[in-house]
Structure formats: structure tokens, C-alpha cells
């Protein structure tokens, strides 16, 4: 994962987003000197990535909260951009509490852990909590309030999942603004602050806030609402919204929130998904004021931690995959293992292409507008390769068999083989290069170019196809996710010796 342009010294340049790539809907809490953050994961398994930081700037993924089939049920027919929506992470009474909506069948679920790295408990169902984007907050007397999009609130027993009373409507944001969602209730000073997102998660997204003397209200809206939005601007960071507040160890306040980085001409396409950004917060007359949102982040007023970079290369030498690896809906061990051929990742096909919701695919989020991805694949017993995936209807891949290497594109209802090349015999290095558009010469110009090819026996790159990246963007495909780049099997068993990802500027 790209963190810094240099080590954390006095002249360090810090990059925003603080967690790049498909990491939307951040929720954060602080315990002592440690910050913990979770994000939505939608149809991917394992679900709900968990991050740790000491400075709010450098984040390390320490696990996934839902990493067992007993915790996360995503049926094969569940839609892309379904699954897990908008978790909230809180620490109360010596435990971590995570509440999230599985829109693909199980509704709202509650999990607990003593260590946020896991293991997390099996789910506590919340059948009486209706609505998405659930939030948890505890009153001074220990009452637990669950607030959901809409916006409504109900008292619950977090140990059993029982609702105690009927849901009550709260403040639902600006009159006429669509999609009041992502509520987070914070007790700060003399007030309870109800933070929400509104306007939809596209270009009109924003954050608004209201306050009341009790967690049940009544709530008065901030006269400066929305307190965060980039709607109607040419700011390089757009769709800003879905925020959460956290206080630093020095007493300062901060907001984490989602945003996107569009590239290309009009209307601008974002391909990495919604990412996690950070901004400072000050207080004026009892209301939060969000500071500048910039691609270059001013450091917090406490020591920066030494960044822990995500490894560029994975040689699959360990029994379990690192937490950054994700798969659509499930990852049965009989279809994905590092034990069958030590030092290799072996994928056994289930479904004959990435068009199939049950396709066997293991990938990691694209986190840089410009990047290069390589893998060494042995297709002797099957067919598979390297893919850039947005969903079942939008993906590019370079696929190898013993006889040939193909470039395949799926865009909506169209699926085409765009190029072929004789297989070199034996394992082959497949490569994907993504180059962000740096200068727009035509308003129709796409956000980036995706090149797919292979390396010959001398290590020289053979470029087989260059494709417009707009077709793997949210603005074309719809939905809520970003690109994931990884390995797949479409027939038989395919082995992968290593995988490396290197990000560039962009």
C-alpha cells in the first residue's frame, strides 16, 4: 500500500487518501494511543477489513473481522455491490463492538472482540433493527442505542440482539436532500451530535450534523450544513461524505470520510472505488468545522509513526493468505490453497469464466492510479491468469493455457477475445500495467489505460492489448466497489508462484 513519499521526518509529505483504493464508509475509534478503523467490503470475502494506526495517517491492515463462513454468508447468487454495508466500530466496557448490515440476506449483525485483530465472535442477529448503516452508542447509564439510515433509532440489548421498544424517527438532514444515511452518534461535551451523510454517494454527497441534549433528541441542525461537501466544485477529490469523528490523544478532533479521485475528461471516472480520507476538525460555537481536504495532508500535532508498507511481493510461502487478499463471496479451501504445491497458490476452477458469480478469484485492491502487476502462472493443468475485476459484467483479463495466451474483455453484455499469443511453454509471467491519464486533450478521454501482456524468455514485455479504463469504472458499471486485481482459474487447476504489485504516482 502506498503510504508516504518519504520517511516520517520534519519535511515529510503525507498523502491523502490515508487508505487508498476500495476502502469506503470508514468508521473509527480510539483506545488509548491506538486508532482502529473498519470499512465496507460488499460482496468480498473475508469481510470488513480492520486497520490500526498510531497517528491517523499511516494505517496497517491487521485482519478482517469476518473471516469465517460462520460469520459471513454471501450466497452464490448475491449481487455484486451487495453483501456488507457501512460497519460501525466502537469500544465500550473493555470490548470492541462491530455492527454491520449484510444486505444479501442476514440483515443487521453485531460482533464483538477483545482484540480488534481477531478473532471476532460469531454474529449476534438483530432482527428487530431495520435499515442499513447501523450505528452504536451508549448512554451514561449503559443504555445502548442503535441508529440506522433514514434516520431512526431503537434501544437494543447488544448481548442478545433484542430490541427494547419501537424505533423512533430522528433528524433526517436537509429537507429535500436524498438518502439520509451513515448516522454516527457522538457524546461530546454537553451535546449529543448526530452526524449523517446525505445527497447520495455520488457527486452530491456530503456530511451534515445536528445536536441535542439527549441521544434521542430533539436535534437542531447546524446552521452551516453541510459541514463537508465538494458538490459543484472542480476539487480533485469528489463524492466526499460518510464521515466519522475521532479525538486525538492531544484533544484535537479529526474526521475520516470517503471520497473519490476522478480522472479523464467529462464526466470524470473513478476506478479505485471510494477511498478513506482524513481532515482536521475544529470547533466554533459548539459546532464542528471541517478543515481543508487536500491530496497533501498536514501532519497531526503528535509524533508520526514509522510506516509499515504493504509487501510488494507475495511468494505464497505461508499456510494462510495475508488479510489484503479477497475473493467474491467465498473462498473454499478446496478451491484455494497454498498446501497442494508448497510455495505456490493453487486455484481450482469453479465456473468457466469471471462472468460466473462462483468464479475462483483471489485479488487485492488496486490502490494507485498508476500501477504494475505481475504473476508467474503455471497453467499446465488448467486455464487461468491475471484479471482486473470490477464485477461479473466488467473485467479485463490475460489468460493462459498450455497452447496460448489470450486477452479477454467483458463490458456489459459484450465479451470479446481481443488478442492471442502462442504460449511460451511452461510457466509464464503475465502482466497488467495501468497508466492514469495525466493530461486531458479531449473531453471524452478516459481515466486511464489498462495494458495486458506477458514477458518473453528474456523478460521483455510483450504488450498484447491496451484498453480504455473507463469501462472498469463506477460511472460505467454502477455499484459501490472499486477495482480488484488478482489471479483466477477458469478450468482445471492453475498454480501461481508469486504475485507482485508496484504502485506509481498518479
- Burial of residue 296, with CB atoms counted within 10 A of its CB: 0-12 exposed, 13-18 middle, 19 or more buried: exposed
Output the CA torsion sign for 292, 294, 298, 303: positive
- Whether 426 maps to a domain, the answer reads yes
Domain boundary among the residues 262, 297, 332 is at: 297
DSSP state of 459: S
Percent of the chain surpassing pLDDT 70: 97
Domain boundary among the residues 238, 263, 297 is at: 297
* Helix or strand holding residue 475 (H, E): helix 474-477
pLDDT at 504: 78
Task: Mark whether 168 and 194 lie in a shared domain.
Answer: yes
pLDDT tens digits for range 2-24: 333 333 444 567 999 999 999 99
pLDDT at 506 over 80: no
Catalytic residue among 181, 244, 392, 397: 181
- Whether 449 maps to a domain, the answer reads yes
Cα distances from 118 to residues 65, 98, 140, in angstroms, run 7, 12, 28
Confidence band for 425, pLDDT divided at 50, 70 and 90: confident
Task: Mark whether 457 and 354 lie in a shared domain.
Answer: yes
Task: Mark whether 263 and 338 lie in a shared domain.
Answer: no
Angle of CA points 404, 405, 409, to nearest 5°: 135
CA max distance for the chain? 72
Task: Mark whether 242 and 138 lie in a shared domain.
Answer: yes
pLDDT at 283 over 60: yes
Alpha-carbon gap, residue 55 to 49, rounded angstroms: 18
Mean pLDDT of the chain, nearest integer: 95
CB environment 395-412: b (16+ within 10 A), e (fewer):
bbbbbbbeeebbbbbbbe
Residue 11 neighbours by CB under 8 Å, 6+ apart? none
CATH at residue 493? 2.60.120.200
Alpha-carbon gap, residue 119 to 122, rounded angstroms: 9
Task: Mark whether 392 and 279 lie in a shared domain.
Answer: no
Alpha-carbon gap, residue 227 to 235, rounded angstroms: 16
pLDDT tens digits for range 290-325: 999 999 998 899 999 988 888 889 999 998 999 999
- Whether 2 maps to a domain, the answer reads no
pLDDT tens digits for range 436-458: 999 999 999 999 999 999 999 89
pLDDT at 9: 45
pLDDT at 95: 98
pLDDT at 11: 53
Cα distances from 447 to residues 204, 267, 466, 495, in angstroms, run 20, 10, 13, 32
Rounded to a whole number, what is the distance in angstroms from the first to the last CA of the chain? 14
Task: Mark whether 378 and 483 lie in a shared domain.
Answer: yes
- Whether 1 maps to a domain, the answer reads no
- Whether 304 maps to a domain, the answer reads no
Tally of domains within the chain: 2
Any catalytic annotation for residue 190? Answer: no
- Whether 48 maps to a domain, the answer reads yes
Sole residue written with cell 489505460: 449
Task: Mark whether 293 and 342 lie in a shared domain.
Answer: no
Any catalytic annotation for residue 115? Answer: no
Number of residues written out for the chain = 506
CATH at residue 199? 2.115.10.20
Confidence band for 94, pLDDT divided at 50, 70 and 90: very high
- HSE-up (13 A, CA, CB side) for residue 39: 30
Task: Mark whether 149 and 78 lie in a shared domain.
Answer: yes
Task: Mark whether 280 and 328 lie in a shared domain.
Answer: no
Task: Mark whether 329 and 462 lie in a shared domain.
Answer: yes
**Structural domain span for residue 444:** 313-503
- Whether 8 maps to a domain, the answer reads no
pLDDT at 2: 35
pLDDT at 7: 36
pLDDT at 234 over 90: yes
> What predicted TM-score, i.e. pTM, was given to this entire model?
0.96
The residue-averaged pLDDT of 276-280 equals: 98
Task: Mark whether 159 and 25 lie in a shared domain.
Answer: yes
- Whether 273 maps to a domain, the answer reads yes
Report helix, strand or coil for 135.
strand
pLDDT tens digits for range 327-379: 999 999 999 999 999 999 999 999 999 999 999 999 999 999 999 999 999 99
Domain boundary among the residues 297, 326, 358 is at: 297
Task: Mark whether 289 and 319 lie in a shared domain.
Answer: no
pLDDT tens digits for range 151-190: 999 999 999 999 999 999 999 999 999 999 999 999 999 9
pLDDT at 505: 60
Give the pairing of strands 327-328 and 336-337: unpaired
Amino acid at each position: 500500500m502506498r503510504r508516504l513519499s518519504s520517511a516520517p521526518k520534519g519535511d515529510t509529505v503525507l498523502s491523502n487518501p490515508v487508505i487508498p483504493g476500495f476502502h469506503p464508509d470508514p468508521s473509527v475509534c480510539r483506545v488509548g494511543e491506538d486508532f482502529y478503523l473498519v470499512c465496507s467490503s460488499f460482496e468480498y470475502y473475508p469481510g470488513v477489513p480492520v486497520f490500526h494506526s498510531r497517528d491517523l495517517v499511516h494505517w496497517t491492515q491487521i485482519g478482517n473481522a469476518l473471516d469465517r463462513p460462520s460469520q459471513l454468508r454471501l450466497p452464490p447468487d448475491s449481487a455484486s455491490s451487495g453483501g456488507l454495508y457501512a460497519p460501525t466500530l466502537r469500544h465500550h466496557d473493555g470490548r470492541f463492538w462491530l455492527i454491520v448490515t449484510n444486505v444479501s440476506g442476514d440483515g443487521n449483525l453485531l460482533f464483538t472482540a477483545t482484540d480488534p485483530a481477531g478473532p471476532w465472535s460469531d454474529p449476534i442477529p438483530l432482527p428487530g433493527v431495520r435499515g442499513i448503516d447501523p450505528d452504536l452508542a451508549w448512554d451514561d447509564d449503559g443504555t445502548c442505542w442503535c441508529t440506522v439510515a433514514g434516520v431512526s433509532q431503537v434501544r437494543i440489548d447488544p448481548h442478545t440482539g433484542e430490541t427494547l421498544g419501537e424505533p423512533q424517527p430522528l433528524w433526517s438532514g436537509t429537507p429535500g436532500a436524498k438518502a439520509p444515511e451513515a448516522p454516527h452518534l457522538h457524546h461530546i461535551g454537553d451535546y449529543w451530535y448526530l452526524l449523517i451523510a446525505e445527497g447520495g454517494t455520488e457527486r452530491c454527497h456530503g456530511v451534515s450534523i445536528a445536536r441535542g441534549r439527549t441521544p434521542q433528541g430533539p436535534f437542531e441542525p447546524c446552521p452551516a450544513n453541510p459541514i463537508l461537501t465538494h458538490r459543484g466544485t472542480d476539487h480533485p477529490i469528489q463524492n466526499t461524505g460518510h464521515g466519522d469523528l475521532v479525538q486525538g490523544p492531544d484533544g484535537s478532533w479529526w474526521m475520516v470520510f470517503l471520497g473519490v479521485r476522478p480522472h479523464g475528461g467529462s464526466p470524470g471516472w473513478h476506478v479505485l472505488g471510494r477511498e478513506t480520507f482524513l481532515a482536521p476538525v475544529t470547533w466554533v460555537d459548539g459546532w464542528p468545522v471541517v478543515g481543508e481536504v487536500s491530496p497533501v495532508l498536514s501532519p497531526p500535532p503528535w509524533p508520526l509513526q514509522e510506516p509499515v508498507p504493504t509487501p510488494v511481493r507475495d511468494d505464497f510461502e505461508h499456510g494462510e493468505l495475508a488479510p489484503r487478499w479477497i475473493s467474491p463471496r467465498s473462498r473454499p479451501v478446496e478451491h484455494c490453497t497454498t498446501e497442494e504445491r508448497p510455495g505456490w497458490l493453487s486455484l481450482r476452477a469453479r465456473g468457466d469464466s469471471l462472468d460466473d458469480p462462483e468464479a475462483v478469484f483471489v485479488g487485492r485492491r488496486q490502490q494507485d492510479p498508476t500501477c504494475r502487476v505481475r504473476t508467474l502462472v503455471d497453467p499446465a493443468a488448467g486455464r487461468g491468469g491475471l484479471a482486473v475485476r470490477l464485477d461479473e459484467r466488467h473485467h479485463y483479463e490475460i489468460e493462459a493455457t498450455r497452447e496460448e495466451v489470450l486477452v479477454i474483455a467483458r463490458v456489459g453484455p459484450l465479451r470479446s477475445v481481443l488478442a492471442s499469443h502462442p504460449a511460451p511453454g511452461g510457466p509464464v509471467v503475465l502482466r497488467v500495467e495501468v497508466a492514469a491519464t495525466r493530461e486531458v486533450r479531449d473531453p471524452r478521454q478516459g481515466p486511464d489505460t489498462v495494458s495486458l501482456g506477458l514477458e518473453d524468455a528474456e523478460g521483455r514485455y510483450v504488450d498484447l492489448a491496451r484498453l480504455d479504463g473507463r469501462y472498469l469504472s463506477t460511472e460505467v458499471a454502477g455499484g459501490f466497489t472499486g477495482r480488484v486485481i488478482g489471479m483466477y482459474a477458469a478450468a482445471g487447476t492453475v498454480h501461481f508462484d508469486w504475485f507482485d504489485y508496484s504502485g506509481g504516482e498518479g
